[in-house]
Structure 1
Amino acid sequence: MEVVNSMFQEIIEFFVTVIRYTPKFIPGVIMTLKLSVLSILIGTIFGLIGTLLKFSQRKILMKIIDAYITVVRGTPLLLQLIFIFYGLPQIGITFSAFVSAALGLAFHSGAYIIEIFRGAVESIDNGQREASRALGMTKWQSMRRVILPQAFKRSIPALGNQFIIAIKDSSLASVITMTELLMLSKQFVAATYNVFPIFFIAGCYYLIITAVLSKALQLLEYKLKVNEREMKDVKSEKIVQVLWRVRSTKGN
């Protein structure tokens, strides 16, 4: 009976702690969202620029991008954040904790986004490049108007995974004094000594954020597929109309 009562008291204490501290995580959630959105945007820009440079056919630029990817993939994100926040000030370059975290996460994500875009671009049939060049487009016009729009559609699932990873990686910003979800969790645990309910709340918030992002990306992917099907239907209808006119002309 005592064991049952003890378990019942622990369950009550768990829910009381969860209800009490859930609203207190809101500032950390907002900071995590700001950090994640900014790092994803900057990382995507890094990735797009890096992809264009990688396909520039200039060996120096290609080697610089390859070196960037090698460094990022070969070193831990935690080390990169520490280097930006604690290492760069040693040579006179100082950033705030927020800017350091955003740049570090963007720098890290950008390398993986380059590889995502590269694979998507290379998956586009080479005939489309030749057709666009035959129409008088330059190499960059062909890339911007023909290749990249299709590559972006194909890369959405992989980009979605990378964006979710970036949100979860934002928890590492706590090591450079960023007061986001994980830092708040540590502070609340130190104040209450209730480890499980506090980290349970943090985990729920991360789960909600990533679930919302996943759903938004699924809707975007579905929307792009619908538009692509509609364009194919319009093209097919126009082809049928042309063939019907040709037949009618021959019949007359």
Structure 2
Amino acid sequence: MNFDFSPVWDGWRALAQGTGITVAITATALLVGCSVGLLVGIGRLNPRRRLLHGVCTAYVAAFRGTPLLVQLFIWFFGLPHFGIMLPAFFCGVIGLGLYSGAYVSEIVRGAIQSIAHGQTMAAQSLGMTPAQAMRHIILPQAVVRMIPPLGNEFIALIKNSALVSLLTIHDLMHEGQKIISVSYRSFEVYLAIAVVYFCLTGVVTLALRHAEQRLGAGGLR
């Protein structure tokens, strides 16, 4: 078999632009996922608040129990049936973000619950409110324990972002498929796409490893 990477070299500008869109979608979805995950994770800590706990639990069950691709299709192809037209980029971001947020919430909840309850009691004995204890005592310690599982979730989010190409978003995968439709060199193009995703996940892995080492060795600075 003869390999021909000339379509990849000729289309590097389109692939670079697609990579930029992939990074933008992933970064924005990451912010959505972390924000929603933090709120939902904290909301599930107190079963006594039945309404809040029930809503958060239902959200996690719904988004973890259904495929991401189906959720993206509902946002982009399903909502127009109810007269709700959303931009493809927004559907990709909100779909990825809410899906990731369900998993982040479990990471947040588990990390917070792993902190000894006595620290909360000690903070409240010093006059702190539960919210202040959570913000100044519990969360800073929990963040260190969140980093390894969050790293796995961030990497999964980068790889899952390839699905947004099905929403007509001109991300890396979409641009690669356009090159394939003209050149018919699918193996070479998909191999180049795989290398780009590998580099993106590698950068995230190194950054999180550095953060984990700093926080783990010297505490929060």
Of the candidates 25, 37, 43, which is equivalent to residue 47 of structure 1?
37
Alpha-carbon contact 1:73-1:111 (below 8 Å) kept: yes
Aligned residues: 220
Write out the 4+ residue segments of structure 1 that deviate beyond 4 Å after TM superposition: none
3-state DSSP of counterpart to 1:55: coil
Aligned pair 1:77/2:68, yes or no? yes
User: What is the rounded CA distance, in whole Å, between the counterparts of 1:79 and 1:87 in structure 2?
Assistant: 10
3-state DSSP of counterpart to 2:85: coil
- In the alignment, structure 1 segments of 5+ residues that lack a partner are 1-6, 232-252
Deviates more, 1:28-37 or 1:139-148: 139-148
Q: What does 1:1-252 correspond to in 2, within 5 Å?
A: 10-11=2-3, 14-56=4-46, 57-228=48-219
* 1:39 counterpart letter in structure 2: A
3-state DSSP of counterpart to 1:93: coil
User: What is the rounded CA distance, in whole Å, between the counterparts of 1:87 and 1:16 in structure 2?
Assistant: 39
Higher relative contact order (CA 8 A, sep 6+): 2
Distance apart, 1:18 and its partner CA: 3.8
* 1:178 counterpart letter in structure 2: I
Alpha-carbon contact 1:22-1:201 (below 8 Å) kept: no
Deviations 1:77-98 (A, max 9, x none): 0000010111112223221000
Deviations 1:62-108 (A, max 9, x none): 01111111111111000000101111122232210000100000010
Alpha-carbon contact 1:21-1:198 (below 8 Å) kept: no
Deviations 1:36-62 (A, max 9, x none): 000001110000111222124301110
3-state DSSP of counterpart to 1:75: coil
User: What is the rounded CA distance, in whole Å, between the counterparts of 1:217 and 1:192 in structure 2?
Assistant: 38
Tell me the TM-score normalised to structure 1 length: 0.83
Distance apart, 1:129 and its partner CA: 1.1
Structure showing greater radius of gyration is 1
User: What is the rounded CA distance, in whole Å, between the counterparts of 1:133 and 1:76 in structure 2?
Assistant: 42
Deviates more, 1:89-98 or 1:212-221: 89-98
Distance apart, 1:111 and its partner CA: 0.3
Tell me the TM-score normalised to structure 2 length: 0.95
What percent identity do the matched residue pairs reach?
A: 37
Distance apart, 1:193 and its partner CA: 0.5
- In the alignment, structure 2 segments of 5+ residues that lack a partner are none
